[in-house]
C-alpha cells in the first residue's frame, strides 16, 4: 500500500474527496460550487489594497492592526468571524525592528480571499517545518536577507486565526498614488517571504 | 478571560490520539500570552463530532526559539485554546 505522504497533493486531495462523497457527506457538484465561490474574488490584489491604504491612512492602519475583520469589511472584503465559518484575521506590521512571516505548520491555513490561492511552497513540508525552526535561512532563500538587528516573528496559523503581513512602505514612494502603491505589494510580501 | 496578555503559560505535554491543534513542537514548552483572540469551539471536540463542542478562549502564545530549539533568536507565535495551557 502506498503511504499517503508519497502521493502528490492533488491525488491525496482527490482520494479524500472520494471518501467524503462515498460517505454521502458531499458531492462533486457541491465541492465545485464551493471552490468557484471561494476563488471567484480571491486575489492578492485585495490584500495589497489594504496594505497600500494602511500606508497612506493612519486611522485605517490603526483599525487594520486592531481589528482586521472590521478593516477588511470597511474596504469591501468581508471576512466572516470563526463562528460564521470564517476566521479571525490578524494583520501584523513589519517595522525597522521586526519582520513578520506567516506559516501553518499543521496544514496550510491562510487568508485566501485576501492573498489569492496559496502558492505550492506554502503547503510544502519543507516550508512548514523549516520556517518555525530557521526562518532567517528560509527568508534568505527567498532573497530576503535581514540585518541581525531585525527580530523575526513567525506566526503559526490555525484555521480560526489567519494572518497577513503588512509590509513596511518602501522609501521613495511618497509621490505614488493608491493604485501605484497597490501594485508594489506582492503576495509574498503579504506572507512575509518578500519585503514588499 | 483567564489569561490576560503578558501571562506566562506552559503548554500541556499531552499526546492525544484524536485531532488537536497543538503542534508537537510546542508541547511542554513555556510561552507568553500576547493576545486573547476570542472564544471559539474547541477543534478537538468538533473533529470528533462531540456536540456541542466545548467553547474556549483562544490565545496567541509567543515562544522563543531558544526555548523551542535550543538556538535561534526568533520568536514563534501559536494560537492555542485554553485547555491546552497551564499558568506557568
ipTM: 0.95
Contact yes or no for B45/B53 (Cβ under 8 A):
yes
Cβ contact, residue pair B74, A151, below 8 Å: yes
d(CA B85, CA B31): 10
Tell me the pairing of strands B55-64 and B75-81: antiparallel
Q: pLDDT at position B85, please?
A: 97
Q: Decide: helix, strand or coil at residue A189.
A: helix
Grouping H, G, I as helix, E, B as strand and the rest as coil, residue A134 is: coil
Q: Among all chains, which residue has been given the C-alpha cell 492533488?
A: A10
The reported pTM is 0.89
What's the whole-number mean pLDDT along residues A41-48? 92
Measured CA to CA, the distance from residue A71 to residue A91 in angstroms comes to 10
Architecture of domain B8-87 in CATH? Roll (2.30)
Which residue in B51, B37, B50 sits closest to B81, CA to CA?
B37
Contacts of B43 in chain A (CB under 8 A): 158-160
The Cα–Cα gap between B20 and A92 comes to 25
pLDDT of residue A35: 83
B72–A133 C-beta distance less than 8 A: yes
Three-class SS state of A25: coil
One pLDDT digit (tens) per residue for chain B, 88 residues: 589 999 999 999 989 999 999 999 999 999 999 999 989 999 999 999 999 999 999 999 999 999 999 999 999 999 999 999 999 9
The minimal CB distance from B69 to the residues A83, A133, A160 is found for A133
For domain A41-191, which architecture applies?
Alpha-Beta Complex (3.90)
The grid coordinates listed for A167 are: 509590509
The pLDDT value recorded for residue A1 is 44
Mutation pick from A129, A133, A149, A150 vs chain B, by most beta carbons of B within 10 Å, is: A133
Name the 3-class secondary structure at B6: coil
Preferred mutation among B26, B77, B80 to probe A, highest tally of A CBs within 10 A: B77
Per the CB < 8 A criterion, the answer to whether B68 and B61 are in contact is no
Q: Where in chain A is the domain with CATH 3.90.330.10?
A: 41-191
Amino acid at each position: 500500500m502506498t503511504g499517503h505522504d508519497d502521493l502528490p497533493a492533488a491525488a491525496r486531495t482527490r482520494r479524500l474527496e472520494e471518501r467524503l462523497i462515498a460517505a454521502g457527506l458531499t458531492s462533486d457538484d457541491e465541492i465545485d460550487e464551493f471552490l468557484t465561490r471561494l476563488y471567484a474574488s480571491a486575489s492578492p490584489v485585495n490584500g495589497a489594497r489594504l496594505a497600500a491604504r494602511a500606508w497612506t491612512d493612519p486611522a485605517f492602519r490603526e483599525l487594520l492592526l486592531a481589528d482586521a475583520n472590521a478593516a477588511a469589511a470597511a474596504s469591501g472584503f468581508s471576512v466572516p468571524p470563526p463562528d460564521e465559518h470564517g476566521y479571525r484575521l490578524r494583520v501584523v506590521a513589519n517595522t525597522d525592528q521586526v519582520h513578520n512571516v506567516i506559516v501553518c505548520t499543521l496544514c496550510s491555513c491562510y487568508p485566501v480571499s485576501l492573498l489569492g490561492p496559496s502558492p505550492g511552497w506554502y503547503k510544502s513540508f519543507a516550508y512548514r517545518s523549516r520556517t518555525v525552526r530557521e526562518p532567517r535561512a528560509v527568508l534568505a532563500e527567498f532573497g530576503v536577507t535581514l540585518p541581525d538587528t531585525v527580530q523575526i516573528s513567525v506566526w503559526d496559523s490555525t484555521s480560526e486565526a489567519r494572518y497577513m503581513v503588512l509590509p513596511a512602505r518602501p522609501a521613495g514612494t511618497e509621490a505614488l498614488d493608491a493604485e501605484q502603491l497597490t501594485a508594489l505589494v506582492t503576495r509574498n510580501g503579504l506572507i512575509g517571504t518578500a519585503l514588499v | 478571560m483567564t489569561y490576560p496578555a503578558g501571562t506566562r503559560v506552559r503548554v500541556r505535554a499531552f499526546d492525544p490520539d484524536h485531532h488537536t491543534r497543538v503542534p508537537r513542537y510546542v508541547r511542554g514548552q513555556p510561552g507568553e500570552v500576547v493576545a486573547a483572540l476570542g472564544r471559539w469551539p474547541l477543534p478537538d471536540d468538533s473533529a470528533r463530532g462531540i456536540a456541542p463542542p466545548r467553547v474556549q478562549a483562544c490565545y496567541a502564545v509567543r515562544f522563543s526559539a531558544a526555548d523551542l530549539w535550543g538556538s535561534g533568536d526568533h520568536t514563534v507565535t501559536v494560537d492555542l485554546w485554553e485547555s491546552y495551557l497551564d499558568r506557568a
